[in-house]
Amino acid sequence: MEKIKLMSLYTDFRKDMSYIEKELERSVQSSSPIVRQASLHLLKAGGKRIRPIFVIMAAQFGTYSLENAAKIAVSLELIHMASLVHDDVIDDSDMRRGLETVKAKWNNRVAMYAGDFIFSRALTSIGNIEKAPVHQILAETMLEICKGEIIQIDFQQQTDQDLRDYLKRIKRKTALLLSSSCELGALSADADSQTVRKLKRYGYFTGMAFQIVDDILDITSTDAELGKPAGSDLLNGHITLPVLYIKDDEQFKPYMKRAFTGVMEESDRQAMLRYIRQSGAIEKAQHVSDLYLIKALKELESLPNGKSKKALTQIADFIGQRKY
Amino acid sequence: METKGFTDQVDNYIHHLRRAIYQPVVERDVGHAPIDRRKASLLLLPLLNGEQWTDEMQTAALAIGAIHTAFDVHDQIDIVDASSKEQQLMVLAGDHFSGIHYKLLASIPNFHLIRSLSSAIGRVNECKTTLLQAPPTTVEERLQLIAEVESACIVKFFESFGFSRYVHIVETVFPFVWLLDSRRHDLNRMKFPHLVPSTHETQDWIDQLQQQLNDRLENSFYLHTEVIAELQKMTNQ
């Protein structure tokens, strides 16, 4: 139901998104049947396509060309997909979006090669945009995302983290790519520098909120809704915002210690999730997300009215209320 | 050019490549990234042979070195279990090196090379997947795929900068040294050790490729004798 609701915000851009979907599928065609199957496997599993839609919407604030915007949109979605394929190797995850992961269906090495293949296709797509800043921004973004993941591994199971550490981590993990989606979309359409800056900041703030909500949902959703076990972040040793708020609670500490082993009795996992849900930590995290969304909406205020501004506003509202 | 000059130039390149791909956490927990000296030497073949070498070529060569290092690190990911911190960081180290390759190309900026290299990177990963999961039955086809895996990016680099006449050399040397490594049982250094042919077949192919390389070197009038000597040293049985 929620998925339909997000897609309904894309209504005005349905034709453009359909074109991008076809381009995504075309991009991962391969002469190797296994690479093709592995790449299409994740693509067909769907996803919110929030990066492509941000590119399309941001490009509307300049001289819009679907062809140019699509090259960037496809590239960003493929980079996101490639990182997911590799993340599943790192997290030893067997399920994503309710489907077997590439590493589970084949093996770790195929997942590495499929991820690298998808990454190459991302560069093929954006390589057709002959604007140096576009490439420099994207390259920096990719390196920062990677740095964020390296730091996340380095911080695994470390309980002496603070809010600042968490915010820096989710900035790199999610906000930067959404921020770059808006920035590159606007740049591809030669929007003026003020508009580019506002859209970039909008993408950053919504990205921060998006990840905080994602981290909340990892605790509040059911396994079926997530397509993987709830509480996976903690089981993988990652301290998210709700957990940050109760990590020093004496009654919670034993749960966290057991979660860090990666294996918990089912009843113990459920008890841990209930404990977090009832602690007030979820509400505190939601409040931080709301603050980011207010900032995001503020960036849109001075932009010209139109279907794109309206949809960006609705997406920010949706992120605050999303349930999956 | 003297051998000392070759060594210095390759050392200098590796030093710059190490600096370009440096990542403190990876360096601390996983150690130095593997940089294949042989591959670096073949990439630098035009420079070692005295061709004009611009700053743009140097940056592009570093980009190729970064992507080669990414490939090599990702080839070391355990097929079944990559859950240790070291393996997790190696996955990300490879992604970091890939990102560095793109950043270097974007800094030039060379759009043509971004496009042609991306197609080569795609092809390399297709070939590696085929060799891993569904290898061809004949040794000839396998060697052809191995040659592509090792040389595809270098070939694009040569073609981009007008060094196409060096392509046939690298395309012959790579499968040749793969076979030599297999004969020396240098399995740690090797990619796809499971595809090594029988001892008898290996020797036949070594002889055949040796002949092919000798013919090519003989016909490469533009190669300095010192460069030929270096290549012969690299492929010395």
In whole angstroms, what is the distance from residue B143 CA to residue B232 CA? 20
**pLDDT, tens only, A232-287:** 999 989 999 999 999 999 999 999 999 998 778 999 999 999 999 999 999 999 99
Chain B residues close to A156, C-beta within 8 Å: 85
The token duo for B217 is 């070197």
Reference A234, options A211, A270, A268, A259; nearest CA is A259
**pLDDT over 70 (residue A57):** yes
Task: Please tell me the number of Cα atoms within 13 Å of A178 on its side-chain side.
Answer: 25
**pLDDT, tens only, A245-260:** 999 999 999 999 999 9
* pLDDT at B3 (0 to 100): 56
A121 close to B (CB below 8 A): yes
Contact assignment for A108 to B133 by CB distance below 8 Å: no
* Eight-class DSSP state of B84: S
**pLDDT over 70 (residue A210):** yes
**pLDDT, tens only, A222-231:** 998 888 889 9
What's the mean per-residue pLDDT of chain A? 94
| Cβ-contact B174, B71 below 8 angstroms | no
**pLDDT over 90 (residue A305):** yes
> Where residue B69 sits, what CATH number does that domain have?
1.10.600.10
* Eight-class DSSP state of A96: E
pLDDT confidence of A47, banded at 50, 70, 90? confident
Contact assignment for A116 to B85 by CB distance below 8 Å: no
The minimum CA-CA distance between B171 and chain A, rounded to whole Å, is: 21
Chain A residues close to B79, C-beta within 8 Å: 107-109
Q: pLDDT tens digits, chain B, 237 residues: what are they?
A: 455 688 999 999 999 999 999 999 999 999 999 999 999 999 999 999 999 999 999 999 999 999 999 999 999 999 999 999 999 999 999 999 999 999 999 999 999 999 999 999 999 999 999 999 999 999 999 999 999 999 999 999 999 999 999 999 999 999 999 999 888 766 666 788 889 888 899 999 999 999 999 999 999 999 999 999 999 999 886
Compare all CA atoms of chain B with the CA of A135 and give the residue at the minimum distance: B106
Please count the structural domains in chain B. 1
Q: Average pLDDT, stretch A197-201?
A: 98
Chain B residues close to A90, C-beta within 8 Å: 82, 88, 91-92
Burial of B137 (0-12, 13-18, 19+ CB in 10 A): exposed
Task: Please name the member of A112, A120, A153 whose beta carbon is closest to the beta carbon of B118.
Answer: A120
The minimum CA-CA distance between B70 and chain A, rounded to whole Å, is: 9
Compare all CA atoms of chain B with the CA of A149 and give the residue at the minimum distance: B92
Q: Average pLDDT, stretch A196-206?
A: 98
Q: For chains A and B, count residue pairs whose Cβ atoms are closer than 8 Å.
A: 147
Task: Please name the member of B23, B74, B106 whose beta carbon is closest to the beta carbon of A132.
Answer: B106
Dihedral-angle region of residue A47 (phi above 0 means left; psi in -120 to 50 means alpha; beta otherwise): left
Which residues of A, range 131-160, sit inside 8 Å of B by Cβ?
132, 135-136, 138-140, 142-143, 146-147, 149-151, 153-154, 156
Q: Which of A13-17, A96-100, A193-197, B130-134 has the lowest mean pLDDT?
A: A96-100
* pLDDT at A1 (0 to 100): 41
pLDDT confidence of A95, banded at 50, 70, 90? confident
* pLDDT at A82 (0 to 100): 97
Contact assignment for A139 to B102 by CB distance below 8 Å: yes
Of residues B234 and A298, more confidence is placed in: A298
Range of the domain at B79: 3-234
First to last CA, chain B: 24
**pLDDT over 90 (residue A150):** yes
A297 close to B (CB below 8 A): no
A35 close to B (CB below 8 A): yes
First to last CA, chain A: 10
Compare all CA atoms of chain B with the CA of A125 and give the residue at the minimum distance: B115
- Phi, psi (degrees; rounded to nearest 5) at A99: -120, 160
**pLDDT over 50 (residue A41):** yes
| Cβ-contact B147, B119 below 8 angstroms | no
When scoring B67, B86, B91 by the number of chain A Cβ atoms within 10 A, the one with the most, hence best to mutate, is B91
The minimum CA-CA distance between A105 and chain B, rounded to whole Å, is: 12
When scoring A76, A105, A109 by the number of chain B Cβ atoms within 10 A, the one with the most, hence best to mutate, is A109
Verify cis geometry, omega within 30 degrees of 0, for the bond prior to B109: yes
- The sign of the torsion formed by the CA atoms of B180, B185, B189, B193 equals positive
Question: What is the full DSSP assignment across A193-218?
Answer: HHHHHHHHHHHHHHHHHHHHHHHHHH
Give the CATH architecture of domain A2-321. Orthogonal Bundle (1.10)
Chain A residues close to B95, C-beta within 8 Å: 83, 86, 119, 146, 149
Angle at B93 between CA B90 and CA B95, to 5 degrees: 115
Dihedral-angle region of residue A20 (phi above 0 means left; psi in -120 to 50 means alpha; beta otherwise): alpha
Question: What is the full DSSP assignment across B65-77?
Answer: HHHHHHHHHHTTS
